[in-house]
């Protein structure tokens, strides 16, 4: 029984994805298998360019057309030259939706004599994966290579990823895996060691404007035959709404042009774009990298004492669909960890704002949330309590369960007192100052000073008091 036999797919499989079904194949070099059966090379369809969404029709066909990634994947880069020479290595294509990952896979197919097969990790299970590899092994014996494109490869579980490894390592398949998730977390280290990670950034506005202008002018695949025009500032507005996503940008352009034609006009205005785009949502995935990026930006802005940035990121993450209670939980943690002893009231303020939010709800609940964000940004900062916690945890891990000193032990019975429990304990309340120079740590840890106060905010006074008491204790020990 091989590894494939031992794997189980948690959900029912619906077969291989039809991602590459319209890859240009002028030379008939590609056997594009999308259903599990061997496919015949397609014949050109002169009407194909007029069907389907604009974003699909306008997919880049060459590296030159792949806007926004020239520095890393352009025809004059090492990877670009490898693709053009049909020497493409195994790749993990990592980036947000609509940035060109699938388009690059299609370009690789168009420049290769290898057989190209595609799977969707969402729809394909162990059976489809095994069949793909078996076909690749047969092709390899016949002297033909196979490029296996796996869309959303992060959806494969560890066992399924492991099943691919020997075949990638043996050269049975050249793997192209597309993912929106950080490969460091979503993919096995063994997979990453056998593939080059290509990072796709969201497209900038200039690159999107180039794509939009090309689509508006193209008469064979785009909207050139519509007769509709748009000024550069209008295209720039669409680009801003698209948030780095080419698919979203082209979809919005297509919708706006349809609306313009429906009312008998021939020019797109900013108002047309705003009217069509007002329901657009911000890019966000609660379980994906963007969730952690936005949360990180919020915390680092507060740590940097910037109320403007703190408010921006807090509102941004909520407007994108995050639960405001998640933000408030992060603020409670920040109040204890990053403000801490510099302003002990900070956690009380945030807890009150959290309570107020839950009593009031949205939209008015955003007011106490903004109060909490602003307060934390402006508060003095200290991580001394947090660092003391980590130091104590490390000491316990290192030293184990040390015995409680006899003078600190509870002595509820005469027998325990006779055994020395509680002997020589001095009650601080019996002192005029309410404090006595005593030792309270286990003997093996005596002399450790886990808490190191800062001089920030209210902690400065606490630092003076603690320093004075530590000196008094040391002087008493010296006799």
Do 174 and 105 meet the contact criterion of CB atoms below 8 Å apart? no
Q: What is the spatial distance between Cα 165 and Cα 459, in angstroms, rounded to a whole number?
A: 55
Sole residue written with tokens 């002018």: 217
Query: Residue 340 and residue 379: Cα distance in Å, rounded?
Result: 10
Q: Which residue has the tokens 């945030």?
A: 350
Q: Which residues of 206-216 are buried (b: 16+ CB within 10 A; e: fewer)?
A: ebbbbbbebbb
* Residue corresponding to tokens 């705003």: 274
pTM above 0.85, yes or no: no
CB of 221 within 8 A of CB of 191?
A: no
386 to each of 152, 360, 401, 476, how far by Cα in Å?
39, 32, 22, 30
Tokens 């006899």 belong to residue: 406
CA distance 267 to 162: 54
Q: For residue 104, give the nearest of 92, 115, 113 by alpha carbon.
A: 92
CA pair distance 190, 165, nearest whole angstrom: 7
CA pair distance 152, 186, nearest whole angstrom: 10
DSSP secondary structure letter of residue 201: P
Task: Taking each helix axis as running N to C, give the angle between helix 289-303 and helix 307-319, from 0 to 180 degrees, rounded to the nearest 10.
Answer: 160
Structure tokens at 137: 């092994």
| Contact (CB, 8 A) for 78 and 89 | no
CB count in 10 Å sphere of residue 194: 16
- Contact predicate 102/178, CB 8 Å: yes
Query: How far apart are alpha carbons 128 and 248 in whole angstroms?
Result: 31
Q: Which of 293, 367, 283 is nearest to 324 (CA)?
A: 367
Q: Which residues of the chain have pLDDT under 70?
A: 1-51, 279-289, 479
Q: Do 18 and 34 touch, CB atoms closer than 8 A? A: yes
The total of other beta-carbon atoms located within 10 Å of residue 134's CB is 13
**Are 35 and 20 contacting, i.e. CB atoms less than 8 angstroms apart?**
no
pLDDT digits (tens, 9 = 90+) for 84-110: 999 999 999 998 888 999 999 999 999
User: What single string gives the DSSP state of each residue in 384-435?
Assistant: HHHHHHHHHHHHHHHH-SPPPPGGGS---SHHHHHTTTTTT---GGGSTTS-
> Nearest 10 degrees: CA dihedral of 467, 472, 478, 479?
180
pLDDT recorded at residue 446 = 87
Give CA 35 to chain center in angstroms: 32
């Amino acid at each position: 029984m091989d590894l494939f036999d031992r794997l189980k797919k948690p959900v029912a499989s619906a077969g291989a994805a039809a991602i590459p079904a319209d890859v240009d194949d002028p030379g008939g070099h590609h056997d594009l298998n999308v259903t599990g059966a061997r496919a015949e090379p397609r014949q050109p369809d002169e009407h194909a360019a007029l069907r389907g969404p604009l974003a699909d029709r306008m997919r880049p066909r060459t590296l030159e057309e792949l806007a926004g990634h020239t520095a890393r994947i352009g025809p004059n880069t090492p990877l670009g030259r490898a693709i053009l020479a049909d020497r493409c290595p195994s790749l993990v294509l990592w980036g947000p939706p609509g940035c060109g990952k699938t388009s690059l896979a299609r370009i690789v197919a168009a420049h290769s004599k290898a057989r190209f097969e595609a799977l969707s990790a969402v729809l394909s299970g162990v059976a489809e994966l095994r069949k793909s590899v078996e076909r690749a092994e047969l092709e390899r014996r016949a002297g033909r290579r196979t490029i296996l494109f796996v869309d959303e490869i992060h959806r494969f579980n560890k066992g399924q990823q492991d099943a691919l490894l020997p075949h990638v390592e043996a050269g049975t398949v050249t793997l192209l895996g597309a993912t929106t998730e950080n490969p460091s977390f979503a993919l096995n280290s063994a997979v990453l060691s056998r593939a080059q990670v290509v990072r796709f950034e969201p497209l900038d506005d200039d690159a999107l404007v180039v794509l939009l202008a090309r689509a508006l002018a193209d008469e064979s695949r785009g909207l050139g035959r519509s007769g509709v025009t748009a000024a550069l500032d209008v295209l720039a507005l669409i680009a801003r709404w698209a948030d780095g996503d080419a698919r979203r940008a082209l979809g919005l352009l297509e919708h706006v042009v349809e609306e313009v034609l429906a009312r008998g006009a021939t020019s797109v205005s900013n108002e047309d774009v705003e009217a069509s785009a007002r329901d657009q949502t911000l890019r966000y995935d609660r379980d994906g990298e963007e969730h952690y990026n936005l949360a990180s930006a919020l915390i680092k802005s507060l740590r940097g004492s910037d109320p403007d940035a703190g408010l921006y990121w807090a509102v941004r993450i909520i407007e994108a669909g995050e639960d405001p209670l998640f933000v408030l939980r992060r603020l409670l943690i920040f109040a204890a960890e990053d403000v801490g002893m510099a302003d002990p009231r900070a956690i009380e303020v945030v807890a009150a704002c959290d309570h107020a939010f839950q009593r009031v709800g949205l939209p008015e609940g955003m007011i106490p949330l903004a109060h909490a964000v602003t307060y934390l940004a402006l508060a003095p900062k200290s991580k001394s309590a947090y660092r003391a916690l980590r130091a104590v945890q490390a000491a316990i891990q290192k030293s184990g369960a040390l015995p409680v000193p006899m003078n600190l032990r509870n002595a509820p019975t005469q027998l325990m007192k006779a055994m020395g429990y509680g002997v020589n304990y001095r009650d601080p309340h019996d002192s005029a100052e309410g404090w006595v120079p005593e030792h309270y740590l286990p003997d093996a840890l005596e002399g450790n000073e886990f808490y190191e106060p800062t001089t920030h905010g209210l902690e400065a006074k606490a630092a003076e008091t603690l320093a004075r008491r530590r000196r008094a204790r040391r002087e008493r020990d010296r006799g």
